[in-house]
Amino acid sequence: MCDCCATKKDIYLPQMATVNKARLMNGTELYMHISMDDTPLVYEPGQFVEVSLPGLGEAPISISSSPTQGDGFELVVRKIGNVTNKIHQLKKGDKIGIRGPFGNGKYPFEECKGQNLIFICGGIGLVPQRSFINYVLDNRDDYGEVTILLGTKCHTQRFFHSEIEAWTKRDDLHFMETVDEADDCWQGNVGVVTTLIPKIETELSSAKIFVCGPPIMYKFVIMALDEAKVSHDNIYLNLERKMKCGVGKCGHCQINQYYVCVDGPVFKYSDLQVAPEAI
């Protein structure tokens, strides 16, 4: 066997990693900072990893950090099943398996240079978008106007509080936030995230627009963007919720000729050629 074959990474074999930090962000989301035990993880905004626990299984999780931000990487895990329930019990120093990074359809960080960018995030949809947002902010001079819209179901489900507060104070981006349900603790906008779209100051038709959130959100965001005459070539959808095996073998994530885990998870809407309710 030649040296290159002997050292080639097996995409089916998890590599060991260590949990450096683990903290609950709200009732369902766990933040983790991870470091690989051997070779550092080299990734780009929009990619994901498979997180595995011996004897239990694995789960696809979007990378939330930017590759510009030091050693290791960050994940946010929602408690929704056996594997993620167990992940929520992890603490600093625990070991996990990591496969990846996966995803060939990443955020177009080179293509978008010099362009105005708009991020529309629904709830946990902020997690993968945050990777590209922070990449852009760390390379701020390379991009035009930056607008971030964030919608959350209720005040208690919000997370990344200190980071969001810092965004609101920056004069080189526009940040707007809303919650679906009114709350005595919330003094901001109330309503779904599409209620913020008319308040965008950037010219929509010339901006690159990135959308990530719950499935129902895509339909209404795209309807609002259609009303604003936004070209489907300028709309990018992150379909991270459809990921499964990571290598296009299980068929769980197929949309027409595409496999989200291999060809995505970030797609131009014009390439998908499906109605938003089918996403």
Asked whether 32 and 19 are in contact (CB, 8 A), the reply is yes
Q: How confident is the model at residue 250 (pLDDT cuts 50, 70, 90)?
A: confident
Q: Where are the domains of the chain?
A: 3-102, 117-278
Q: Domain 117-278 class? A: alpha beta
pLDDT at 276: 66
What's the pLDDT tens digit per position in 76-131? 999 988 999 999 999 999 999 999 999 999 999 999 999 999 999 999 999 999 99
| Strand duo 146-152 + 258-259: pairing | unpaired
Mention every residue, 6+ apart, whose C-beta is less than 8 A from residue 89. Answer: none
Determine if the peptide bond prior to 265 is cis (ω within 30°).
yes
User: Does residue 33 have a pLDDT over 80?
Assistant: yes
- What mean pLDDT comes out for the span 226-246? 91
pLDDT-based confidence at residue 255 (cuts at 50, 70, 90): confident
**Whole-number Cα distances in Å, 118 to 38, 182, 212, 247:** 37, 25, 12, 30
At 247, is the pLDDT very low, low, confident or very high (cuts 50, 70, 90)? confident
When pLDDT is cut at 50, 70 and 90, the band that residue 278 belongs to is low
Read off the pLDDT of each residue in 251-272 and give the average, rounded to a whole number. 91
Give residue 4's pLDDT band: very low, low, confident or very high (50, 70, 90): very low
Q: How confident is the model at residue 1 (pLDDT cuts 50, 70, 90)?
A: very low
CATH architecture of the domain with residue range 3-102: Beta Barrel (2.40)
The pLDDT > 90 percentage for the chain reads 79
Q: How far apart are CA 53 and CA 135, in angstroms?
A: 30
Q: Pick from 117, 41, 128, 20: which is nearest to 78 by CA?
A: 128
At 189-209, the pLDDT tens digits run: 999 999 999 999 999 999 999
How far is Cα 86 from Cα 83, in angstroms, rounded to an integer? 5
Q: How confident is the model at residue 248 (pLDDT cuts 50, 70, 90)?
A: confident
d(CA 1, CA 22): 41
pLDDT at res. 253:
86
pLDDT over 70 at 138, yes or no = yes
Q: How far apart are CA 81 and CA 93, in angstroms?
A: 23
What is the predicted pLDDT for the residue at 177? 97
251: left (phi over 0), alpha (psi -120 to 50) or beta: left
Can you say whether residue 57 is alpha, beta or left, with left for phi > 0 and alpha for psi between -120 and 50 degrees? left
Q: Is the pLDDT of residue 211 over 50?
A: yes
